[in-house]
Structures are given as C-alpha cells and as structure tokens.
Amino acid sequence: MIFLSPAKINLSLYITGKDKKDGYHFLNSIVDPVSLYDFLDISVIEKQKIILIDKFKKLKINYKKNLIYKAAKLLQKKYNVKKGAVIKFYKYIPDGAGLGGGSSNAATTLKALNKLWNLKISIKNLEKIASQLGSDIPFFIKSKYARIKNKGEKINILKRKRIYWYVIVIPKYCKINTKFAYQWFDEDFVLTKKTTYYKILNNDLELPVLKRIKLLKNIKDKIIKIADNEKNVSMSGSGSAFFSLCETKKRAKIIFMKLKRNFKNCYVFLAHSI
C-alpha cells in the first residue's frame, strides 16, 4: 500500500528559550504541510522483520539509523507485534533542507503500520510515540497547518484562511546540519526578553546560517531579484531550502518557471498547502 509523506514549510520560526538540562531550544513556529512528497510502499510480512529498501539509493546512512526503520522497530517492540513489514521508500524531499522529510517519513511509518498491523492506536498516543523519535515528528502525525511551541510537543491546529503556494529552491550540494544551525544561533545571539508578537516570514536561524554559508545568501538574493518578491522570501527550518510565498497559483507558476531557468544547480519545486 502506498502512503504519502509530505514536506513542511516553516512560515515562521522564533527561538524563545533553551532548556538548560538537555540543551534543546524552545520554539514558536507556524508550520504548513505542503504538496511535496516522499512515497512509502509498505507491505506486511509474516516474519518479524523490518526490511527497508531505498529505491533511489539517495541516503548514505546505515538502514538501522534511518527514522523509518527506527519508527517501525519502536512500534513493533512496544506493541509486541509478531509480524513484520517490507518498506520501499521513494525519496523526493531532499534531506538536510529544513523541510522535515525524515521526520515526516517516521510519522508516516507509524500511521501506516498502525493501520496495516491493526493496532488501533489513538492519534494522541501516536504523537507520544513519535516524540520518542524526534521533537518535530509529532507534527506529522496530523500534518495540519499549526503553531508549534516548546520543543515541538505542543501543537495547536490553526484555522486555515487560505491556501498558500510556494516555490521552493534547494541547492543540490549544500546540506545544513540542524544541530550546527542552533549552535550558530547561540554563538550570535543572547535571548534577553520574550517576544510577544509573532509574525510570519521570520526565521531566527536564517541570519546565523547565511552569515556562515555565503552560497545560501547568494541564493536568497537571487530569488528576491528574479521573483521580485523580497518580503515573501524566507528560509524553512534550519535550511538549506528557501521559499517564495505566493498567494495565487498563477503567480507561483510564473515565479517557478523563472527560478527553474536560473537555478541549474538547485532543486526547484512548486507546491501548495495541503
């Protein structure tokens, strides 16, 4: 059975504090799931094995370190499932881009196996299980437009007023380690007071990342120039993806074609809110 695993865009990302015990940052972020997908083809087998197959052979890590495998094994162990699964995944969302591809894959695996193994786990409990794998994975259990707070565990679903269109640009040979992005923020900024007004198209990680990765600054500047859309261009998550936010499909298609022609060493995607 085929399952869709969507990417996400951080319309805003504010860092509101840091946990002194574990070093994780507290966030306030508006997140929009979008129509850029990985595909997971999952079938149940009688043997108690999890077989993971990367159809495009894009990921270079050991399969046991893959979040898809970790999610399946966690669920299997927690609920003493005697069956297994063959999981073929087709990777279209670039990793290291700030689009949540790996986290989405893990959440999709939990939801899919809950259905295929007939475990009947509630959404709330799936979110709790997801949080054991990563702080941003619970969001993808529902994959709905939401404000995320704290370390990712507080998810407030927002009423969507419109469908947004996005043109997403990702350099093919530049990946950002999320841990480094937050370290760079800590090096550059001191949190002195709480923000009370949160607007979209603000990303507290963007300046520290652009300061150190000049390629990304050049890409953002070029997007702004070509799209003529300075106020609506921002970085998603910890990068390296940038997006141009568009209010209409027509405008998004025009910008997409322009950026596609001008960014030969980048992935360029057209996507919308889901």
Q: What is the pLDDT of the chain when averaged over all its residues?
A: 94
Supply the DSSP string of 203-250, one letter for each residue.
ETTHHHHHHH-HHHHHHHHHHHHHHT-GGGEEE-TTSS-EEEEESSHH
The catalytic site residues sit at 8, 136
**H or E segment to which residue 11 belongs:** strand 2-18
Q: Is the per-residue pLDDT at 204 higher than 60?
A: yes
Across 72-93, average pLDDT: 98
Instruction: Tell me the domains of the chain and their CATH numbers.
Output: 2-157 (3.30.230.10), 165-272 (3.30.70.890)
φ, ψ for residue 156 (rounded to 5)?
A: -110, 110
Across 57-74, average pLDDT: 92
Question: According to the model, what pLDDT value does residue 193 have?
Answer: 55
Q: Is the per-residue pLDDT at 195 higher than 60?
A: no
pTM: 0.94
Across 40-45, average pLDDT: 98
Is the CB of residue 184 less than 8 Å from the CB of residue 25?
no
Tens of pLDDT, residue by residue over 144-186, are: 999 999 999 999 999 998 999 999 999 999 999 999 999 999 9
Distance (Å, whole) CA 180 – CA 157:
29
Strands 25-45 and 84-90 turn out to be antiparallel
Instruction: Provide the residue type at 29 as one letter.
Output: S
